[in-house]
Amino acid sequence: MGEPAVSLQALAKSFGQGTASIRAVDGLAFAVSAGEIYGLLGPNGAGKTTTLRILAGLLSPSSGQALIGGVDVGRSPETVKTRLGFLSATTGLHGRLTAREVLAYFGRLHGMGETALQTRIAELARALDMGRLLDRRCEGLSTGERQRVSLARAVVADPPVLILDEPTSGLDVLASRFLRDFVRAERGRGKAIIFSTHYLAEAELLCDRIGLLFRGRLLREGTPAALRAEAGASTLEEAFLRFVDASESPETVPGGPPAA
């Protein structure tokens, strides 16, 4: 096997100093391969967004290392930003620009030539069914429509790595399904994708492997089926709760009775 597309090694991030310091990410390590969707799951405050912001070059780690395509994010954040697309539920759009203008602006920032850029915008309009949105101002779009434009913005330069931080938050059922279908298609094109969510049922539908994050640490990692089997649970949510209980009560064995 070749080098993973994304690799975290003993990654840690603290905020504040002294006794007021908060360790948001604590020794995190995992890897994601090309053509794989890796789900990063956990409750609010588990460290998901902090981890993804470090990967995107928006935060510097306190210690450890994050690599995108073998490039150290902490040392070369600008290089890394050319290799990934980042999307969150709060990604902003320039309200007075049309969707087409937003995509053109970000494509040019990535150094795309005009012919390639216009071809790519047309491709994304078809793939995301947003042809009727292209010449409308972003300030007049619905939540679901804005998220389609934001997703197109994240992938306009066709980066090999996608980081999606709770991208379906606030979307209705149809919009969420459409976004998941697009993510699956990107995986089929060989993209390495990190998909963060606190909707565990959604992760079971979408992700190849899952990392269960709690209080900045990785509790477990594996396929949804393997995690359910290890915990003796019928759902991923039930498995996660058992792993959390076990982490706080070491004498408890996931999927079984208390140890003697």
Average pLDDT, the chain: 90
Contact assessment for residue 182 and residue 189, using Cβ atoms and an 8 Å cutoff: no
Is residue 97 domain-shared with residue 146, that is, in the same domain? yes
Q: Residue 260: its pLDDT value, please?
A: 32
Please count the helices (runs of H) and the strands (runs of E) in the chain: 9, 10
Beta carbons within 10 angstroms of residue 144's beta carbon: 16
The rounded distance, in Å, linking the Cα atoms of 81 and 162 is 11
The rounded distance, in Å, linking the Cα atoms of 99 and 111 is 19
Is residue 98 domain-shared with residue 128, that is, in the same domain? yes
Is residue 7 domain-shared with residue 63, that is, in the same domain? yes
Is residue 76 domain-shared with residue 191, that is, in the same domain? yes
The half-sphere exposure of 152 on its side-chain side, counting CA atoms within 13 A, is 33
Q: What is the CATH number of the domain that holds 210?
A: 3.40.50.300
Is residue 220 domain-shared with residue 116, that is, in the same domain? no
Is residue 74 domain-shared with residue 191, that is, in the same domain? yes
Is residue 167 domain-shared with residue 229, that is, in the same domain? yes
- From 158, 176, 208, the end of a domain falls on 158
Is residue 177 domain-shared with residue 124, that is, in the same domain? no
The rounded distance, in Å, linking the Cα atoms of 39 and 204 is 9
Domain count, the chain: 2
Q: Encode pLDDT of 200-233 as tens digits.
A: 888 998 999 999 999 999 999 999 999 999 999 9
Is residue 208 domain-shared with residue 180, that is, in the same domain? yes
The residue with greater pLDDT, 6 or 247, is 6
Is residue 112 domain-shared with residue 223, that is, in the same domain? no
Is residue 114 domain-shared with residue 133, that is, in the same domain? yes
What average pLDDT score do residues 104-129 get?
Answer: 95
- From 131, 158, 185, the end of a domain falls on 158
Q: Residue 113: its pLDDT value, please?
A: 95
Q: Which residues constitute the domain of residue 152?
A: 92-158
- From 126, 143, 158, the end of a domain falls on 158
The rounded distance, in Å, linking the Cα atoms of 253 and 163 is 33
pTM of the model: 0.89
Is residue 172 domain-shared with residue 246, that is, in the same domain? yes
The residue with greater pLDDT, 225 or 198, is 225
What average pLDDT score do residues 6-35 get?
Answer: 92
Q: Encode pLDDT of 157-173 as tens digits.
A: 999 999 999 888 878 88
Q: Which residue shows structure tokens 């060989």?
A: 190
What average pLDDT score do residues 113-139 get?
Answer: 94
